[in-house]
Amino acid sequence: MSRVEEWVLENKDKIEKGVEIMSQGCEILAATVGQFHPILEAVFVASAELLSNPEGKEAKYLAEQFERVNQKLEGIQDEIEKIALELQRTSLNKQNFDREAQMISQYEKFQEFVTAKPKFKEKKKEKFLSHFENTDRDVNLDGLYNAITGENTSGDAMLDTILVTEQRSRRAVEEFCARLKKLFVVGIIAVMGYTALKEGTVGEDMVKKWQERMEDVEKRMKVAVDECVNNFPAQAKTDVEHMLVERQSHVDPEFTKFLLDALAKKYDWVSWSVRVFNHGGIFFWNWLAGKRYHGSGGGINYFDLLTKNKIRIVVSFTADPKPLNKVQIKDQIENERLKGDMISVAESLCKSLPNCLVHAVSRYKRVEEANNFDPECYYYAVHKRAHICIHSE
C-alpha cells in the first residue's frame, strides 16, 4: 500500500466530516475548532497525487472531496461582498477588500487544476501557479490572519471590532464568523495547493503552520460568540436603555410588545418576560399600593429600569426554561393570602419555589405584560392583592 493510499484510508472519515461541516449553519460553523485539519492536509496529499497519478483511485477520491468542498463554498463571492460591507460599516481599513477577492481568484484557479482532465492537468497547473504569483502569493492570507489577530497597523483585532459594532448580537457575530471561516479555508487551500505543486513534496511545516493558524482563528471566533452568549443580560439592559432614548415609554400593550419583540429577535435563544407599570400616578392609588409596591425574589435574571416619565420596566429572562406546576403555585398563593408588601410577597413565595424567579406588583397598579415563554414554563396571573409573575431561573 502506498503512502497516499494509507493516508486516505486513515483519514477518510475525518475528511468527509470536515467537508460536511462546511454546509452547517452559522451557529455550528462559528463554534467548531479543529475540524478542518484533515481537509487542509488533504490539499497537500491530493495536489501531488493529482499531478503524478491523476487516474489513480486515491486521486479520484480526493478530487471528489474537493468538488464537494467547492459545492459547499458555492456563493462565496456573495459572502465576500457581505464581509466587505460589514468591514466598511465598521470602518476597518481593508483596502477595498482587494486581497480577499484575490484569494477567491487563487482558489478558483486551483479548482480548475483539480477538476481538469488528465491531459490538461499540466497546463492548468502552470496557469494556477502563474496566477498565484501574480496576485501577491500568500500575502493576502497573511494579511487576513493579521487582521483577525490584531497584528496589523491599527492594532485592533477584527472580531473585537465586530463585537462592538454588532452590540454583542450573537447571530450577527456567528454569521460574520461563518463567512470569515469559509474565506479563510479558501485562502489556505490555495496557498497550500501552490506550495505542494511548486515544491512537489508535502511540506509538513506548512501544514502545521496553517493548521495552527486555522485553529487560532477558530478559537478566537468561539470566544467572540461566547462573549455574546455569556454577557447577554448586561447587553440586553443596555439595548433597552437605548430603545427608551429613541421611543417614549407608555403603559400599554403596544409599547410592551415592542420591547419584547426587540429582545426576542436579537436574543432568540432566551425566553423573555416584560412588565410595564407606572411608578407615579394618582395619589390615592399610589397610597394604597405603598412605597414597596413591587418586588422580586429568587434570582438575578432580571433588570429594572425607571424612565424619565416615571414608568417602571421590569424585564426577566432565562436561557433554560423549566416546566412549572401551575396548579400547585396557584394553590400556594391562595393559601398564603399574599401578606405584607410586595417585596415580602415575592420573598415568601420564593421559599417554596426553589430555582424560580418571582416578581410581584401591587394590584393597585395597572400592569402591561408580554412574554415569549412556552406556556408550561411560565406563570402570570392577577390575584386579589398582586400581579404575580413566576418562571424558572
* Domain boundary pick from 179, 211, 230: 230
Q: Which three cell numbers stand for residue 328?
A: 400547585
pLDDT-derived band at 257 (thresholds 50, 70, 90) equals very high
Same domain? For 62 and 130 the reply is yes
Residue 52's Cβ-side half-sphere holds a number of Cα atoms within 13 Å equal to 12
Residue with cell 463554498: 73
Dihedral sign, Cα of residue 184, residue 187, residue 193, residue 196? negative
Mean pLDDT lowest among 89-98, 174-183, 368-377: 89-98
pTM of the predicted structure, to 2 decimals: 0.80
Domain that holds residue 181: 3-230
* Domain boundary pick from 214, 230, 246: 230
Same domain? For 33 and 47 the reply is yes
Dihedral sign, Cα of residue 130, residue 133, residue 138, residue 141? negative
In angstroms, rounded to a whole number, what is the distance separating the alpha carbons of residues 52 and 71? 25
Q: Name residues whose C-beta falls within 8 Å of residue 377's C-beta, 6 or more positions apart in sequence.
A: 271, 321, 322, 323, 324, 391, 392
Mean pLDDT lowest among 163-172, 195-204, 355-364, 367-376: 195-204
How many structural domains compose the chain?
2
Same domain? For 162 and 311 the reply is no
8-22, pLDDT tens digit by residue?
666 667 666 666 666
Same domain? For 381 and 242 the reply is yes
303-353, pLDDT tens digit by residue?
999 999 889 999 999 999 999 999 999 988 887 776 678 888 888 888 888
Angle at 177 between CA 174 and CA 179, to 5 degrees: 110
Q: What are phi and psi of 274, to 5 degrees?
A: -125, 130
Q: Which three cell numbers stand for residue 149?
A: 489577530
Same domain? For 287 and 183 the reply is no
Same domain? For 68 and 126 the reply is yes
Same domain? For 209 and 81 the reply is yes
Same domain? For 311 and 250 the reply is yes
Highest mean pLDDT among 6-10, 193-197, 332-336, 368-372: 368-372
Same domain? For 226 and 236 the reply is no
38-81, pLDDT tens digit by residue?
666 666 566 555 555 666 776 677 677 767 766 666 655 566 66
In angstroms, rounded to a whole number, what is the distance separating the alpha carbons of residues 270 and 263? 9
